[in-house]
């Protein structure tokens, strides 16, 4: 029998269902992401959460660090020390899918403490190499998942699943439907949400196709962790061989992705002139939100095809 199937089954049986908390309001969303030696990219993500998205609609921001040694753990710890994020520090590399499971399990445990004020209704899973570009990125996705009564929403691609794979780089889930013993968890593969999404569909639950990337709600640089693995010659990592030929950002096929990236960096470098924990913290704690001025339609049309 396939080892991953056995692992999924065991994790299903050990998991407790997401606690139902009827009548709790206002509804808030938790952001979760995994980090492994991506200090610059994780800094971009944090900045985009605090200064582009804003935190009014958030219950928690949970980061899981997989034993980083590039300074990103210390950077995340500085945010945790200020109460701005919740940080889970692993003493070994647990990889992406299992780290996301850790974060959701952590949030489920918080939900069971009914006296706590920051209730979580939805969970937004992000890759560490994602940059949020618009303030309405979360509210529009939440409205979409509610309208369609879906278990999960993300932008579809059709390589991993012919019926559509909502990519895990930006995946909004309803944990009441997803974090359930009858549904497979995220797993340790190159596409960690495939078995989970097959499991959802097998149980008659909906997965919605939400245009995170095509409508520029966010930019997925892509291959961020692979780039770090290759650059650091991290041969012990199970994805090292894959990284040798997949270590450059391709912006997940977004036309003009490099232009959008440049526009973001203009703002980021102005707000964070020195990338240190103190410098990033200061920028993320400033009042008010910043706006990323996306390239014009003409600029997009002139950009080379991805």
Domain-located, residue 261: yes
104 — phi, psi (to 5°)?
-70, -40
**Owning domain of residue 160:** 1-15+25-306
Domain-located, residue 241: yes
pLDDT digits (tens, 9 = 90+) for 234-262: 888 887 786 787 777 889 999 999 999 99
**Alpha-carbon gap, residue 175 to 112, rounded angstroms:** 13
Domain-located, residue 190: yes
Domain-located, residue 20: no
In 3D space, the residue among 84, 57, 88, 51 whose CA is nearest the CA of residue 73 turns out to be: 88
Q: What is the CATH number of the domain that holds 221?
A: 3.90.550.10
Task: Assess contact for 41 and 136: CB atoms under 8 A.
Answer: no
pLDDT digits (tens, 9 = 90+) for 89-130: 999 988 999 999 999 999 999 988 865 566 899 999 999 999
Domain-located, residue 159: yes
Domain-located, residue 180: yes
Range 149-166 average pLDDT: 97
Looking at the structure of the chain, the number of domains it has is: 1
- Evaluate if residue 180 carries a pLDDT over 50: yes
Taking CA atoms, 256 is separated from 150, 186, 226, 302, in Å, by 31, 31, 22, 8
Question: DSSP strand E in the chain: where?
Answer: 29-35, 58-65, 86-89, 122-126, 130-132, 152-154, 156-157, 165-166, 170-173, 207-209, 218-220
Q: What is the pLDDT of residue 120?
A: 94
Domain-located, residue 172: yes
**Alpha-carbon gap, residue 8 to 269, rounded angstroms:** 42
């Amino acid at each position: 029998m396939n080892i991953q199937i056995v692992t999924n089954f065991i994790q299903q049986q050990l998991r407790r269902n997401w606690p139902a908390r009827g009548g709790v309001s206002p509804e808030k969303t938790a952001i979760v992401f995994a980090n492994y030696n991506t200090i610059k990219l994780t800094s971009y993500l944090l900045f985009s959460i605090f200064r582009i998205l804003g935190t009014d609609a958030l219950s928690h921001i949970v980061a899981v660090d997989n034993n980083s040694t590039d300074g990103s753990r210390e950077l995340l710890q500085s945010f945790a020390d200020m109460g701005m994020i919740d940080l889970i520090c692993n003493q070994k590399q647990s990889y992406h899918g299992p780290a996301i499971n850790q974060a959701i399990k952590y949030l489920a445990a918080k939900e069971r403490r009914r006296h706590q004020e920051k209730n979580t209704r939805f969970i937004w899973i992000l890759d560490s190499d994602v940059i949020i570009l618009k303030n309405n990125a979360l509210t529009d996705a939440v409205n979409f998942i509610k309208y369609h009564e879906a278990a999960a929403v993300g932008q579809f691609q059709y390589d991993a699943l012919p019926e559509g794979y909502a990519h895990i780089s930006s995946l909004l889930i309803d944990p009441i439907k997803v974090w359930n013993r009858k549904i497979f968890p995220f797993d340790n593969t190159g596409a960690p949400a495939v078995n989970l999404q097959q499991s959802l569909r097998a149980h008659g639950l909906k997965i919605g196709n939400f245009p995170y990337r095509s409508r520029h709600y966010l930019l997925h640089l892509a291959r961020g962790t692979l780039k770090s693995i290759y650059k650091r010659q991290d041969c012990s990592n199970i994805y090292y061989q894959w990284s040798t030929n997949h270590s450059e950002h391709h912006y997940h096929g977004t036309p003009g992705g490099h232009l959008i990236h440049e526009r973001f960096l203009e703002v980021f470098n102005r707000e964070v002139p020195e990338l240190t924990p103190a410098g990033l913290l200061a920028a993320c704690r400033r009042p008010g939100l910043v706006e990323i001025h996306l390239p014009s339609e003409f600029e997009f049309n002139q950009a080379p095809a991805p």
